[in-house]
Structure 1
Amino acid sequence: MSSESPRRSGAVVQPVHLVTTVVMFAAVWLVLTRPWTSGGFTVPWDAEAHFRAQLGFLAHAIHGGEGITWNPYVFSGWTQISDPQSLIFVPAFMALALFDADPSARAMDAVVFAQLGLGALAFAVWFRDRGWHPAGGMVAALAFAFGGSAAWRLQHTGQVMSFALLPIVMLCMVRMIDRRSLFWGLLAGITAGLLALGRDQIALLGLYFLIGMGVVEIFGTRGRWSRLAGSIAPALVAVVGGLAVVVVPVVMTLFLAEHSNRPEIDFIGAGKGSLHPASLITAAIADLFGQGDQAVDFWGPPSAAFGVTDIYLAQNMGAIYAGALPIFAILAYGVARARLLEREIVYQTAALVFFVLYAIGWYTPAFRLFYDVLPGVDLYRRPADATFLIGFSVALTGGWLVHRRLTDDGPPAGRFAWIVGGALFALVFAILPVAFGLHADRLALIWKPLVTAMVFTAGAALVLAVARRIGGTRATPAGVAGAIGLVAAFACLDLAWNNGPNESTAYPAATYDALNTTTTDPVVHFLHTAIDKDTGGDRRPRIELVGIGFHWPNLGMLHGFETTLGYNPLRFDFYAKATGAIDHVAIPEQKVFSALEPSYDSLLVDMLGLKWVVTGVPIDKIDPKLAAGRLPEVARFPAIPGIFPAPGRPETFVYENPRALPRVLFVDGARGVDFDAIIASGRWPEGFDPTREVLLPADALPTAVAPGEGPAGRATLAAHHNVAVDVDVEAERAGWLVLNDVWHRWWQVEVDGRPAEMNRADVLFRAVKVEPGHHRVRFTYHPFTGAWADVRARLSARR
C-alpha cells in the first residue's frame, strides 16, 4: 500500500500520461453523460422528488432575499438548516444555487456528474503518485464514476455526492502523510469534513475506510515511526480543518435527531435493507435480473419470482456492474493468481471484503457485529448502501490489477491458476446464472444478459492483452498513450451499453414539468391563483397533495405552496404523531390519519389552515370517514399521459375546506394541558375553541384563564418570510397571539422590539402573551444561537 513501494511500471509513468488520462477521461465523460446533460433525460425518483426540490428552495430563497435555515413549505414548517439532506452544506450545489436563481434538472444532473468526474480524476492522480500504470488509473476512474451504484443509484443524489468526495479525501490524506505537508493536511481535513457533512451511510463507511487506510499508510511500511512523527503536525491541522467544517451542522443534526421521528434504526429494521447475496452476480453480468430492461419484469431479489420478499430495496439497488475490465482483472489476476493478496493492495482487498459483508447485512453474522460495535451504524436503515463502497473498491482494485497486468514481467500463470480461473469463470458465467434462472423459473430471460456479459468479458481480455503489448513496461510514450486510449474506448462502449440510461436512472425530462416554475400543468396554475386570492389579512392557507405522483409531495418547495405533508425520511416526532405524517404520500394508500387527526373533517386540520386537498383519486377513497359535502369538490383536471417509461399525472381532484382557520389568532382564554396526552388520546379538552382560547404547557400556565365576552382583539399578518414573521395585534384586553406555524425551540419572539417568552401552543404551534393596545410582534428563527444555548445547557447539566 505504501507510496514507498517499488514503481513496478517503471519508465512508463510520465507527467504527459496524466494529461493524456485527463483529456481522454473528459472525452468519455462527455459521451457517457450526454443523455442527461443534453436535457433529453433527467435522473428520476429521489433526485427530482426530493433533492431538486431542496436545491430549488435554496436557490429561490437566496435570490428572493429569504432565509435558508427554516423551510415553511413542508410539514407546516421544518428546520432546514438541521436536515442532513438540505444541500445547504454541499459546496457544489450551494455554488449552483448562488449562480442560478432557478436551477433546472439538467443543471442539477450536470453538477452531480461533474463531482463524480472530479472524484474519478483524483483516482487518476493517486495512481500517478503511486507510480502505477496510467491505463490502470483510467480503468479505476471510469469504473468509479460510471460503474456500480454511482451509475445505478443516481437518484440518491446526496449519497452520490458523498461518494464522489471519497477519492479526493483519500488523495489529500495520502499526500499529507507522504509529503508531511501542512497544506495537504488542511485540504485533507476540509475535504473529510465535507464528506462527513453528507451525514449519510456512505460518509460513515468512507470515514471508517480512510481511518484504516491512514493507519496502514503510516505503520505498514519501513520507517513507520518516522512517518508517524512527520504526520502529527499535518494531522492536527487536518483535525482543525475538519472540525471547522463539521461542528456546527453536525451538532444541529444531532439535536434534530433527538426530536425526530427516527433517531435510530433497530437491527431488524436495518436488516430489511440488506443486499441479497445473489445480487452480487450483477457485478459481472449487468442487468441479469431485468433492473434496467423495460421489456423484462424484474425477477431478482427482492421479488416474488425469486422468492425473497422480506427485504425492502428498489430493484436498481441490487445492480453493481462496474465494467468488464475491472471485473475480468479481479477474477483472472486478483483471485486466480492471488494478486489481491500482495502487500500493495491487501488493505484494499480487505476493505472490499468488509464492504461486501456489510452490504449483505443480516445474511451473515458479520453485520450483527458491525451493528453492535461500530458507532453510527444504528442510525441507518439500509446496509445495502455499502454497494457504493463496493463500487469504489472494485474500481481501485480492478485498476491496480490492470496496472499489474500491463507491467508484470514475472512468469506466466501456472496450471493451478488456470484451473482456479476456469472454475471461477464457469461459476460466475454459467453455473450461478443458470441456477438463478431455474430457481425463479426465468431461465429464458438469462441468455441475453449472459451472452452480453461473455462478449464484453472476452473483449476485456483481448483489450488487456493488446494494451500490454503496446503500452507495457518498456513502451514508448506513444504506446502508453495508446494503451490508455484503448482501455478508455473499450470502457466507454462497455459502460454506455450496460450502464447507460434505463428505467431506473433516466426519465424523459418532460416527466417532471410540474416541478418547473414555467410549468403548464393546470393543477399548479389553479393552486397559484387560489392561494393568491385567499392570502391576506390574517389568512395564509396551506394545501395537501396526496396520491398524485412520486414527485408531487415536495412541489411546494419549488412553487411556494405551504403544505402540511412532504417527502422526507425525517420529520418532527410530535408533528408526525399528531398528524400521521409519514415519509411520503405519492400514492393514496400512503395517506395516514392519526388519533388527533382522524379525518379531513377534524379540528386539527382546521387549525393547520388546510384550505385545499389535492388528490389523485376521489377523496372518499382516501378518507372514508369524511361525510358528503364537508369538503366540497371545487375543481377537477383530466389526466396527463405519461412519457414511457415514466407515469403521467392521474385525473386530479381539488377539494376545499371552508372551515380552515386563519394563520394568526388573538385570544384571551388559556389552559395548561399535557400535549403528549392529547396526541395519544386524540381528544381535545372539553369545550376547547381555538378561536377563543389557547392551550399551553401545564408548567407554563398553572391556572386557567377563562375567555372574556366578545372579541379579545385582532391579529393581522404584516409579513411572512422563511425566518421572520411580523404580526400586528390590536388587543382589546390582555391575551395571547397564536401563530399557527409549527413550534421549534430555536424560534424567538419580540413584542414591540422587546424580547418576550414564546410558548408551544395548541400542541403544534406558537404563542406569546400580549398586553392591551397596539403591538408589533416579530417571530425570528435563530438556529445558531439556539444550538449554542442547547450545547451550553448540556454542558451545564453534566457538571
Structure 2
Amino acid sequence: MVPFWTIETARGNGLFGPPVANQDLLLLTLAWLLASLPWVLGDHFIPYDSVGEFYPQSRFVVDSIRHGDWPWWNPYQYSGLPVLGDPQNMLFTLHTLVGTLLGPGYTLQAFDLVTLVHPFIGGLAIYAIGSSRGVPRVWLLSAALVFMLGGVATSRLQHVPQIIAYGLLPVLLWLLLMLESKPAIGRAMLLGLSGAIWAANANQVVFLGGLLLAVFAVLTVARSENRLRLAAMYGVAASVSLALLAPVYSAIIEIIALSTRSDFTLTDSAHPSFSPIVFASLFFPALFGNLNGKIWSVTDITQDFLYIGIIPISLYLLAFFSCMRWRTTAVLTWLTLLLFFVLFSLGVKTPLYPFLFNHIPGFDFFRRPVDAAYLLNLLFALGLLVIGRETARSTALPCGDTGHQLSASSRHLLFAIALSIPLLAFVLGAAAQSKDALPVLLENYGWLVVRVGLFAILLWWIKKQLTSPNRSFWILIVAGIFFAVDLGAAGRYSGLFSQRYSKIALARAYQHTQPPESNSLDAWLQSNTAPWARVEIIGGGESMGHSSVARWYNTQGYNPIQLRRYAEQIGSFVTFNEPRTFVDGSEGPLDQRFDVLGLRYVAFMTKWAQASEKDPSPASEQARRYRDELASGGARKLFSDDRYEVWERPGASRWLAVSDSASIDGLESAPCEVEEFCNTRLTIKCRSPVETTLVIGEVYAPGWFACVNGTPTPIEPFADLFRAVTLPAGPSTISMTYHPVPFLRHFGCSNGLFIARPDLPLSGE
C-alpha cells in the first residue's frame, strides 16, 4: 500500500479524519456546479425524453395550475390523454412547485436545473448518512460525488421521473436510518409522507428502490434492541404512504389496463438487458462513443454509461490491497445487493430476471432490466461508505491481526488484474470492430491513459502537500475539481448527453415563454386549431409533446401512455422519426373517423414532403404518399415556412354530430355549440327537434361523466372510440366532467371550479 495513504500519515491532515461539514458542503456544491456548468450557463440542454416528453408534460401541469384549470386530463395530445393515470405524470414533483412559482420564467433551462438538483440532494443525503457513521472524509466525499455525478446521474438525466426517484432515494434511506435511531411517531409520519411523494411518479426505480428500502428496514429491525416498536413505526410509515398513494395508484392501474403498455412479455426485455461488456464503461469514460464518432452501444447509449471516475475506482482498488475486514455484516450485505442488481441488469442473459418476471408480482410491470443501473450507482456510492469505514478501522491494525482479510494475497490480485487487462482489450476490440467502431475504442484508450496520467500527477502533488500541516482542505478542493472535470468531460460538457440549444430548433423554442412570432407555425396553429379543428404533425420536434407547451391541438404526441382504443382505431405514432401509417380497415387519410375526430390540418415537415425520390427513407416516403393522397382528394396548402407546410383536409368536421344509428356513415352535423372547453370540463348547448344520439369527437375513457339538463346521463362509446350521450328533444345543456380517481368518483351534477380558456373560440363548427 502507498505509504502516504495510511491512516497514521494522513489523519493529521484531515483526509481520513472526521468530516468538516461547512468545508465539505462547499466542496460538494462547487463540484456539482463545475460538472453542471453547461446547463447552469444556459448553453446546453438535457436532450431526448427530457425535452420531447417531460418538459412539455410539466409545462402543461404548471400552465394548467396557473390558469386555474385541473391538470388531470391533457387535451393537446392524442386527442386527449389522462395525466393522473400516467405513471410519469410529473404532477407531484419539485418541477411543479418551481414552475408555478416562476410562472413565465419556467423555461427549459429552469426545468433542467431542477432535474439536476435531485442528484445533488441525494448526494447530500449520502454525505449525511456517512458522516453520522464515522466514514473517513475522502471516502465520504467521494461517495457523495459518485452519486451526484457518476453513471446514470450523467447519462440518464433525460429520464426525468427516474432521476427524481433516484435523487430522492438516499433521502428516504437517511430518514429510515433516523427512524431506526429514534423510533418516534413524528419521524415515522415524515418517512411515510416523503415516501408517498417519492413514489407518486411510478417507475422501475421506485419499484426497485422500494425493494432496497425494504431490505434495509428488515436489517435495521433485526439489529434493533426495540424491534417491536421499530417495526410498528415502519408500519405507520407504510400506512401513511399507502393512504396518500391510493388515489394516484388506483388511477394508474385503471389507465395502464386500458393502454398499449399493459401486456409486456419477457421478449420485450431482451434488448434492454445489459451485456457483461457494458461494465467496462465503469472505468472507460466514453467507451461506446457518447462524445463523438460512431456509437456502438449494446442497448442504448444513455443506458450503457456507468463511468464513476478515476478517484472512486482507485479507492476501491486501495481497499482490495489493504488489510480490510471483508466478512463483516455491512460489507457482505453490500456485496450481496451489488451482485443481485448486477445479475438483474443482465436481464434475460441470466436465470434471475426471467424467474422474477414470471413468478414474482410487480417485476412484470416493467421491461428494462438495465434500469438497475440506478441502483448500481447508488450501491457504488454506498460501497464507498461501507468499505471506507472498514478500511479506516482495519488499516490501523497489523495485517496478521485482522483475521477477516481477503483470502487472496495482494500479489495474486495484482496478477489477476494484470492478466485481465489484455483479455478485456481483446474482447472490447472484437466487439468494436464488429460494429466498425475500432477508432472510437482506440480514442477512449487514449483518453483513459491521459486521465490516469493526470491522476498520477494529482497523487504526486498530494504527497508533497501532506508534508505541510493543515493542507487537507486545499487538497480536497483540488481533488474535487479533478473529480468534477473527470465526470464532466466524460459526458456533461459535450456529446450526446448534453446538447447545445443552437443545434436543435425545438429546444430553442423553449428558451423563453414569450408568445410565438406572428409568422411562425406555432402562432398559426394557436390561431387556427381547436378541439374540433385539430392538426397532425408529421416529422420534427413539433410532432412530440410540443403542443402542450404551445397550446394547440395535436392528434399525435410523444408519450408511452396511449389508450388502446385510440391506438387501434386512429393510430398513435412517434411521428418525430417514424412513418405515419394507417390501421387495418382504415380508408387512409380520408377516413371518416378523422372527420369525427376533428382532424382538419396535416402539417408535413418540408424536408420530408419535398424529399427526392432518390432519398426514400420510410418516414419521408410515407409523408409524401400521405400528402399526395390528401391533395388528390381536394386538400389545399394553407401555410408554409422553412420547416413545415400545412394542408387543410377536405370535408367537414363531424366533431359534434348526431346519429340515429351506430354507423359513422349516418352522422350529421349537430345543432349544438360549445359553451366551455377546458381540461376536465366540456359544456355544450343544443336545440334538437327530436331525441337522438349526440356524438362528440373526444376519445372515450373511464372517468368522464355527463349531465344533461342537470340529470346524470351515462356516456357510451360510439364506434368503440368516441363519446356519445342521449340528446333529448328541445333545448338542452350537456356538461361532461372528468374524475380521474376511480374510488372517489361521484355521479352528481353539482358545478365544480373550472375556468374555460379565454382564447378558445367557442364553436364546434
Q: Per the shorter chain, which TM-score range?
A: 0.7 to 0.9
Would the alpha carbon gap of residues 177 and 414 (structure 1) be closer, same or farther in structure 2, given more than 3 Å must change?
closer
* Aligned-pair CA distance for 1:597: 3.2
Alignment counterpart, residue 740 of structure 1, candidates 680, 690, 697: 697
Could you tell me which residue of structure 2 aligns to residue 708 of structure 1? Answer: none
Contact 2:11 2:17 in 1 (8 A): no
Amino acid corresponding to residue 372 of structure 1 in structure 2: N
Letter in 1 for 2:697: N
Q: Would you say 1:317 and 2:317 are equivalent positions?
A: no
| Contact 2:311 2:483 survives alignment (8 Å) | yes
- Does structure 2 retain, via aligned residues, the 8 Å contact 1:59–1:101? no
Deviation at residue 66 of structure 1 after TM alignment = 1.7
**Pair 48,284 (structure 1): closer, same or farther in 2 beyond 3 Å:** same
In structure 2, what is the Cα distance between the partners aligned to 1:111 and 1:166?
16
SS at match of 2:543: coil
Aligned match of 1:266: 265
CA positional deviation for 1:314: 2.1
Q: Which amino acid aligns with 1:389?
A: L
Matched, 1:363 2:349: yes
d(CA) in 2 for partners of 1:19 and 1:257? Answer: 47
- The offset of 1:406, in angstroms, is 5.6
Counterpart for residue 229 of structure 1: 228
Equivalent residue for 1:559?
Answer: 550
Task: Look up the SS of the partner of 1:597 in the other structure.
Answer: coil
**Match 1:115 to one of 104, 114, 118:** 118
Q: Is 2:603 aligned against 1:614? A: yes
8 Å CA contact retained: 1:341, 1:349: no
Deviations 1:495-531 (A, max 9, x none): 1222323332112124212446657987983453355
Match of 1:450 among 401, 422, 445: 445
Between 1:601-610 and 1:507-516, the stretch displaced more is: 507-516
Distance (whole Å) between structure 1 residues aligned to residue 489 and residue 115 of structure 2? 21
Asked if 1:195 corresponds to 2:198, the answer is yes
Taking the aligned partners of 2:327 and 2:462, their CA distance within structure 1 comes to 24
**8 A Cα contact 2:703 2:745, kept in partner:** no
User: Aligned pair in 2 of structure 1 residues 533, 260: CA closer, same or farther (>3 Å)?
Assistant: closer
Among 528, 532, 540, which residue is 2:527 paired with? Answer: 532
State the TM-score, normalizing by the size of structure 1: 0.82
Give CA-to-partner distance per residue, 1:68-113, whole Å, 9 cap, x none: 0111011111111111111012244344334424521110111011
Matched, 1:37 2:40: yes
Q: Is the CA contact (8 Å cut-off) linking 1:62 and 1:98 kept in structure 2?
A: no
Corresponding position: 1:381 with 2:392 = no
CA contact (8 A) 2:322 2:391 kept: no
Q: What letter corresponds to residue 288 of structure 1 in structure 2?
A: L
- Residue of structure 2 in register with 1:548 after alignment: 540
Q: Which amino acid aligns with 1:608?
A: L
Q: CA 1:555/1:586 → structure 2, altered by over 3 Å: closer, same or farther?
A: same
Stretch deviating more after TM superposition (233-242 or 109-118): 233-242
What is the alpha-carbon root mean square deviation over aligned residues?
Answer: 3.2
Contact 1:542 1:610 in 2 (8 A): yes
Deviation by residue 1:297-344 (Cα, 9 ceiling, x = unmatched): 02342xxxxxxxxxxx32221111011122222244248867555333
Q: 1:779 aligns with which of 727, 736, 744?
A: 736
Q: 1:558-577 counterparts in 2 under 5 A?
A: 558-577=549-568
From 561, 581, 594, the counterpart of 1:605:
594
1:167 and 2:170 equivalent?
yes
1:282 aligns with 2:281: yes
Relative to structure 1, is the Cα distance of residues 728 and 424 closer, same or farther in structure 2, using a 3 angstrom cutoff? Answer: farther
Give 2:291's aligned amino acid. D
CA contact (8 A) 1:201 1:385 kept: yes
Partner of residue 59, structure 1: 62
Amino acid paired to 1:409: A
Report the more deviating stretch, 371-380 or 137-146: 371-380
CA distances 1:709-740 after superposition (whole Å, capped 9, x unpaired): xxxx6101112111111111011222222221
| Paired amino acid for 1:39 | G
| Deviation, structure 1 residue 627 | 6.1
Superposed, 1:641-680 pairs within 5 Å as 651-665=643-657, 667=658, 669-671=660-662
- Which of 561, 570, 585 is matched with 2:575 structurally? 585
Q: What one-letter code is carried by the residue in structure 1 that aligns with 2:560?
A: P
User: In structure 1, what is the Cα distance between the partners aligned to 2:695 and 2:475?
Assistant: 71
Within the candidate set 158, 169, 175, 1:155 is matched to 158
| Aligned position for 1:297 | 294
Aligned to 1:501: 493
Moved more, 92-101 or 567-576: 92-101
Are the structure 2 counterparts of residues 285 and 239 from structure 1 closer, same or farther at C-alpha, using a change threshold of 3 Å?
A: same
Partner SS state of residue 735, structure 2: strand
Of residues 83, 90, 103 in structure 2, which corresponds to 1:80?
Answer: 83
Partner of 1:678: none
Structure 1 residue 164: Cα displacement? 0.4
1:458/1:390 CA distance change after superposition, 3 Å: farther
Cα distance between partner residues in 1 of 2:451 and 2:327? 26
Contact 1:614 1:655 in 2 (8 A): yes
Q: Is the contact between residue 187 and residue 238 of structure 1 (CA under 8 Å) also seen in structure 2?
A: yes
Could you say which residue in structure 1 is the equivalent of 2:665? 688
1:307 matched residue in structure 2: none
Cα distance change on mapping 1:389 and 1:469 into 2, 3 Å:
farther
Matches within 5 A, 1:704-743: 714-743=671-700
Aligned equivalent of 2:241: 242
TM-aligned CA distance change 1:632 to 1:172, over 3 Å: same
**Which deviations, in whole Å up to 9, do the C-alpha atoms of 1:413-448 show, x marking residues without a partner?**
999533243235435644313431144325444343
Is it true that 1:752 corresponds to 2:753 in the alignment? no
Which moved further from structure 2: 72-81 or 629-638?
629-638
What letter corresponds to residue 282 of structure 2 in structure 1?
A
How far apart are the structure 1 equivalents of 2:131 and 2:463?
Answer: 18
SS of 1:154's partner is coil
Structure 1 residue corresponding to 2:106, chosen from 100, 103, 107: 103
Judged with a 3 Å threshold, the aligned counterparts in structure 2 of structure 1 residues 769 and 459 are, in CA distance, closer, same or farther, namely: same
Per-residue CA distance 1:330-386 (angstroms, 9 max, x = gap): 244248867555333321221111111111111222222222343211111111111
- The Cα shift of 1:181 comes to 2.9
Per the alignment, in what secondary structure is the counterpart of residue 55 of structure 1?
helix
Separation (CA, whole Å) in 1 of partners of 2:325 and 2:585? 63
SS in 1 for 2:47: coil
Alignment gaps of 5+ in structure 1? 1-6, 302-312, 640-650, 672-684, 693-712, 791-799
**732 and 788 in structure 1: CA distance in 2 versus 1, 3 angstrom threshold:** closer
Residues 19/469 of structure 1: CA separation in 2 closer, same or farther (3 Å cut): farther
Residue 330 of structure 2 is aligned to residue 347 of structure 1:
no
* 1:479-518 superposed matches below 5 A: 481-482=473-474, 484-510=476-502, 511=504, 512-515=507-510
Amino acid at match of 1:654: V
8 A Cα contact 2:589 2:630, kept in partner:
no
In the alignment, which residue of structure 2 is the partner of 1:410? 397
Q: CA deviation at 1:401?
A: 3.4
TM-score (norm 2): 0.86
How many Å separate the matches in 1 of 2:26 and 2:98?
25
Match for residue 221 of structure 2 among 215, 218, 222: 218
Count of equivalent residues: 712
Paired residues of 1:329 and 1:401 also in contact (CA < 8 A): no
Q: CA deviation at 1:588?
A: 4.3
State the secondary structure of the residue aligned to 2:588.
coil
Shift of 1:454: 4.1
Identity among equivalent pairs (%)? 21
Displacement, 1:199? 1.0
User: Aligned-pair distance for 1:638?
Assistant: 5.5
- Structure 2 portions without partners, runs of 5+: 1-6, 400-404, 610-619, 748-765
* Cα separation, partners in 2 of 1:199 and 1:339, compared to 1, 3 Å: farther
> Given that residues 636 and 649 in structure 2 are in contact (C-alpha distance below 8 angstroms), is that contact kept between their aligned partners in structure 1?
no
Q: Is the 8 A contact 1:135 1:487 kept in 2?
A: no
Q: Secondary structure at the match of 1:774?
A: strand
SS state at 1:345 partner: helix
